[in-house]
Amino acid sequence: MSAHLMSLHRCCQRSARLLVAGRPWSSSSVSSPPLHTRLLLFLTQRFYDVEMLLRWRSQQGQRRVQKKNAYYSYTQHFHGADIAAAFYVLSLKGGFRYVGQSDWFHTDKRGQFNWNFLNHKDTPLEEVDMSCSLISYSGLENLVGQQSLRTLSLQGCPEVDDWFLARLHVFQDSLEELDISHCPRITTGGLAALRNLKGLRRLDMSSLPGLSNPGLVIILLEEMLPQCQIIASGYDLSLSQEGIEERNEQHEQGHESDKSEKQAIY
């Protein structure tokens, strides 16, 4: 159903764009949600059945995330905590590197991976790349035992939130590099929890859409983690309001703005 709606949505967008002659579709701050969302909203307000179906769908989504992040106690029991953690990382389509090894184990696009990782029993993980995966707070339980984890990349993870960051204190002695860029659910309240990571050397927090006052937060974070190099791109840190207003005016007059500018505005 969603595929059909997506195509419908795309089709509508295209025709609307033709009509509106170059008005940028999504950059205006008060843009209404896309057509299929509004259609579904209309239907849910009218029919209980649709509401029920939608609720069921969202519950299914939640259950899927929970299932993916289940605790791998069976694997842990038979192969030990390190193999269980490695298996968890691979089944979430992530990648990792063992301590003292140079090659990475990665999942390919079709979700297949090399089972040779089973040969390295009792070797802890040193680097874990979970970018764009469904890792959540409960799934982090599988990695808690990895006391020599140095690098953790969580780029663009939709389920990583402030509670997840607060839980990262389990790696407080080892973690040196953390990448939380493009995570949609991280806010300032969670970044305050990074104070426990004493050994952090590099923090990538670019383009966090949930962050209000990014400029101030970056300064405060730099104060809080003095030895840490903080990378924060993708924010509009210009102090003057004029720049923003100018751009908004341009949008109103219907100039197509290029993509880089859009990214800068948010």
Partner 1 sequence: MLTWRRLHVKASAVHGLLTSRLVTEQHTWVHGHLPLCQSLSTGTPVRNDFFKDLEAQFAAARQKAADAMPGSSWSPIEINPNLPPERADIVIVGGGVVGWSIAYWLKQKERVRGALKVVVLEKDPTYAQASTVLSAGGIRQQFSLPENIHLSLASADFMRNINDYLGVLDEEPIDLQFNHSGYLFLASEDVAHIMEENYSTQRDAGAKVSLLSPTQLKEKFPWINTDGVVLASYGLENEGWFDPWTLLNAFRRKAMSMGVVQCCGEVTDFKYSVNRAMTTEGKSLDIRRIKSVKVQMPNSLEYQPVECAIVVNAAGAFSSKLAQILRVGSGAKNTFEGISLPVEPRKRFVYVFHCPDGPGLDTPFLVDYSGVYFRREGLGGNYITGASPEEEKEPDPGNLEVDHEFFMEKIWPNLAHRIPAFEKLKVTSAWAGFYDYNTFDQNGIIGLHPLIPNMYFATGFSGHGLQHSPAVGRAVAELILDGNFQTLDLSRFDFRRLLNQEPMLERNIV
Contact set with partner 1 (CB under 8 A): 12, 15-16, 19-20, 23, 35, 41, 44-45, 51, 54-55, 58, 62, 137, 162-163, 165-167, 169, 187-193, 195-196, 213, 216-217, 220-221, 223-224, 252-254
Nearer to partner 1, 238 or 249 (CB): 249
Radius of gyration of the chain from its Cα atoms, rounded to whole angstroms: 22
From residue 9, alpha-carbon distances to 18, 20, 22 in Å are 14, 16, 18
160 within 8 A of 179, measured Cβ to Cβ: no
Taking the C-alpha atoms of residue 45 and residue 211, their distance in angstroms, rounded to an integer, is: 32
Nearer to partner 1, 126 or 236 (CB): 236
CB of 255 to partner 1, least distance (A): 12
Nearest approach, Cβ of 54 to partner 1 (angstroms)? 6
What is the C-alpha to C-alpha distance for residues 205 and 256, in angstroms, rounded to an integer?
Answer: 29
Written as one letter, the residue type at 216 is L
CB nearer to partner 1: pick between 192 and 265: 192
Closest separation in Å from C-beta 166 to partner 1: 4
| Packed helices 2-20 and 35-46: angle between N→C axes, nearest 10 degrees | 120
Q: Output the DSSP codes for 89-102.
A: HHHTT-EEEETT--
**Cβ closer to partner 1: 37 or 238?**
37
CA dihedral angle for residue 18, residue 23, residue 29, residue 33, rounded to 10 degrees? 0
**Is residue 108 helix, strand or coil?**
coil
**How far apart are CB 23 and partner 1 at their closest, in Å?**
7
CA distances from 141 to 89, 135, 167, 191, 248 (A): 12, 10, 9, 20, 45
Between residues 137 and 266, which has the closer beta carbon with respect to partner 1? 137
**Closest separation in Å from C-beta 104 to partner 1:** 30
Q: Which is nearer to partner 1, 118 or 224 (CB)?
A: 224
Q: Output the smallest distance, CB 235 to partner 1, in A.
A: 15
For partner 1, the closer of residues 64 and 121 by Cβ is 64
Lateral strand order in the sheet of 151-153 = 105-106, 95-98, 125-129, 151-153, 177-179, 202-204, 229-231
CB of 170 to partner 1, least distance (A): 9
